[in-house]
Structure 1
Amino acid sequence: MTDTASTVLALDAGQTGIKVRMVRPAAEPVERVFPGVRTDQPLLPQLAAVAHELAAGAPVGVIAAGVSGLTSAESDAGELRVLVRDLAPGRVLLAHDSVTSYLGTLGDGNGAVVASGTGVVTLAVGAAGVARIDGWGYLMGDAGSGFWIGRAALDAVMRAHDGRGPSTSLTSVVRSRWPELEDAYVQLQSDPARVSVVAWFAEAVAAHATTDAVAERICRDAAEELALSVVTGLRRVGAEPAPVVSAIGGVFRGEAVRAAFEDAVRAVHPGVRFEAPHGTGLDGAEALAALAPAHPLHAMVSAS
C-alpha cells in the first residue's frame, strides 16, 4: 500500500516546459514533461491540471512547485490547494522558480545563483537574509540575458548599416533571417515570438566573440551586468569572505561571457568559489518539501 503522506509531487514550471516528478516510498520516481506555462493566462489552474494528470486522482502528501513568472497576486498556495483538493494533499508549497533554481543548484547553503537564459534572475542567500536581483522582464530589466544580448546585437547591426557604428560580422547573421535589413524591424515587431527571436541571436554573438570586436564587446558588457547582479546580491546578504557562486543557463555556455563574468566577480571577491550546479530546478522543487522553517528561503515560499 502506498504511503500517501510521504508522496511528493514536484513541479518545475517554466515557460518552455513543466517538468514533473512523483516521488513515492519504495518506488522509482516517475517523471513527465508537459508544455510550458503561459504567463498571459492564470498560472495556478495550469499547475493544477498538470498535477491531476500525473497523480491520476490518487492522494499525495506534498505538492511543491517552482513557477516562472509567478507574481505576488498568484503566490497563494491556499488557492492552489482548492484547485487540487481532490488529491487531498497534506501540504501545498508554492515559490518563484528563482527559489527552486537556487535549491536545485546550491542546495540550502549560502551563496548566489545567477540563471541567465532568455531572461535572467539572481538570488543570493546569506547571514542577512535573501536578495533577489533583476528578473524584471525584457522591458524593464533582464540585464545580461539572452534577450539583452540579442537586442544589443540587432542594435549594433543597424548602427553599422546606418554608418553610426563599426562594421560587424553579426550583420550576416541577421541577414540570414531577414535579407532586407530595412524591413527587419517591421517583421520582428509583428512576430508574436519576438522575445525568443531576439534571444536567439545571443548564441551567434557568443560564437563570433573571438573574431569580431562588436560581438566581444557585447559579451563583455553582458558579463559585467551579470557580475554586477551577483556582487550586489552578495553585498545585500552579507557575503562570506569566500562566497559560493553558480552561473547557470544558456548564456553561460558562451566562453566569452563566462570568463569575463568570473573575472568581474573575482575582482570584487578574490576568494570566490565557482561551483557547477548540484542539481536541477526539479530537484529544487522537490527540496521545498524538506526546507527547514528557519532557512532564509522559507519566507519566500507560500505554504498551505
Structure 2
Amino acid sequence: MSSRTAAVVAIDAGQTGMKVRVRTDQSVGEALLPGVRTDQPVLPQISVAARQIADEFELDIRHLAAGISGLTDGETTPDALAALARSAGAAHAVIAHDATTSYLGARGIAHGAVVAAGTGVVTLGVGPSGATRVDGWGYLMGDAGSGFWLGREALVAAMRDHDGRGAATALTGVVRDRWPDLEQAYIELQADPARVSVVASFAAEVARAGAVGDAVALDILRRAGDLLAESALTALRRVEAEPAVCAIGGVFRSEALRDEFTRALVAERPDARVVEPAGIGIDGVEALIDLPAQHPLAALTWSARA
C-alpha cells in the first residue's frame, strides 16, 4: 500500500464555494468545492471536504485550517474541534470565522481595519486594545452598505419613482426588466426563496447606473460609502488601531462608492489611509496555523488535536 503524503490543508469555506489549498513539501495545489450550507452544522461539512481531498490525493493531514462562514459558538468547543480533527483524519485542526481569515489575508498580523463587503458586510479592527467586530449582523439587522443594502435601496428608489414620490431613475427600468408588472414585484420577491441574493444582485445595477451619472444611483452609492466608512472608523476607535484600512469585496468595485468611502474616512481621520490587501482569504486561512498566541486575533480562533 502506498504511503500518504504529509500535507497542510486550508479551506476558505464561504456560502458560494469552498476554496481548498493543499500544501506539501513538494507542491501547492488548489481546488474549489460547493459552498457550506449555513442552515446546517458547518463543521461536518468541513470534515467531509477535508476527507474527500485527503482520500483523493492520498494525504496525511498534519494541519487542517478553516475560515468558515456561519460558524456558531456551539461548534467552537474543544470537543467539537477534536471531533472535527478525528473525522477529517487530521492531527491538528484550527478554525475561525471567515471575517478573521479575511483580515489575516488582507492585513496579515498588522494592525488596522478590514471592511469585507459583498452580499453582506463585516468589519474587523485589530489594535493595541484587542480585536473587535463591527456589523456583520445580517440583512435583517445590519449589513449597512452591503450588496444587499445597495440592492434594497435600488428597489425602494424604483418604487418611489413608480409612485411619483421620488426622483426619476434608470433603476426603475432595470427593476421592470426583472418584474414587468412593478406592482406585483413585491409579491414575487417575498415568495422567492433566493430573495436575499436576488436583492443583492441589483447592487451591480446601482454601480452601473452611477457610473453613467444617474443621480439616484450616485446618492445610493455615496450613502453606502459613508456607512462603510462609519464601520471602519468605529473599529479603529474601539481598538485604538493604526488608521490603515483595507476595503475588500465586490461592493468596492464601484468607483463612486470607493471614492466616497475614502473621502469619509479622511474627513473624520485625516491620518487614515486605504491600503491594498496583502493577499486573499485562503492566505489568511493558512496564516491561522502559525498565528502568534499573543496576537489579538488569537482570541478569535479555536484549535484542537485529534
- TM-score where L is the length of structure 2: 0.94
Aligned partner of residue 75 in structure 2, secondary structure: coil
After TM superposition, list the pairs within 5 Å mapping 1:140-155 onto structure 2: 140-155=141-156
After TM superposition, list the pairs within 5 Å mapping 1:195-206 onto structure 2: 195-206=196-207
Q: Does the 8 Å contact 2:64/2:85 carry over to 1? A: no
Deviates more, 1:71-80 or 1:173-182: 71-80
Choose from 191, 202, 217 the match for 1:215. Answer: 217
Q: 1:44-75 deviations in whole A, cap 9, x for unaligned?
A: 11110000011116431111100012122222
Shift of 1:83: 3.8
Shift of 1:86: 5.4
Q: Does the 8 Å contact 2:69/2:97 carry over to 1? A: yes
Deviates more, 1:274-283 or 1:51-60: 51-60
Shift of 1:206: 1.0
After TM superposition, list the pairs within 5 Å mapping 1:223-234 onto structure 2: 223-234=225-236
Q: Does the 8 Å contact 1:59/1:87 carry over to 2? A: no
The aligned counterpart of 1:288 is: 288
Aligned equivalents of 1:83 and 1:103: distance in 2?
23
Aligned partner of residue 179 in structure 1, secondary structure: coil
The aligned counterpart of 1:43 is: 42
CA 1:277 to 1:172, structure 2 compared with 1: closer, same or farther past 3 Å? same
Aligned equivalents of 1:272 and 1:125: distance in 2?
15
**Does 1:263 find its partner at 2:268?**
no
- Aligned residue identity for 1:30: G
Q: Does the 8 Å contact 2:116/2:249 carry over to 1? A: yes
Deviates more, 1:154-163 or 1:140-149: 154-163
After TM superposition, list the pairs within 5 Å mapping 1:149-168 onto structure 2: 149-168=150-169
Q: Does the 8 Å contact 1:170/1:204 carry over to 2? A: yes
Deviates more, 1:54-63 or 1:94-103: 54-63
Fraction of identical pairs, as percent: 55
CA 1:151 to 1:79, structure 2 compared with 1: closer, same or farther past 3 Å? same
Unaligned runs of 5+ in 1: none
- TM-score where L is the length of structure 1: 0.95
Shift of 1:160: 1.3
CA 1:182 to 1:231, structure 2 compared with 1: closer, same or farther past 3 Å? same
CA 1:63 to 1:202, structure 2 compared with 1: closer, same or farther past 3 Å? same
Shift of 1:2: 6.7
Aligned equivalents of 1:113 and 1:101: distance in 2?
8
- Aligned residue identity for 2:148: F
Shift of 1:191: 1.1
The aligned counterpart of 2:61 is: 60
Aligned equivalents of 1:123 and 1:246: distance in 2?
10
- Aligned residue identity for 1:229: S
The aligned counterpart of 2:11 is: 11
Deviates more, 1:53-62 or 1:256-265: 53-62
RMSD of the alignment, in Å? Answer: 1.5
How many residue pairs get aligned? The number is 299
Shift of 1:297: 0.1
Aligned equivalents of 1:65 and 1:272: distance in 2?
31
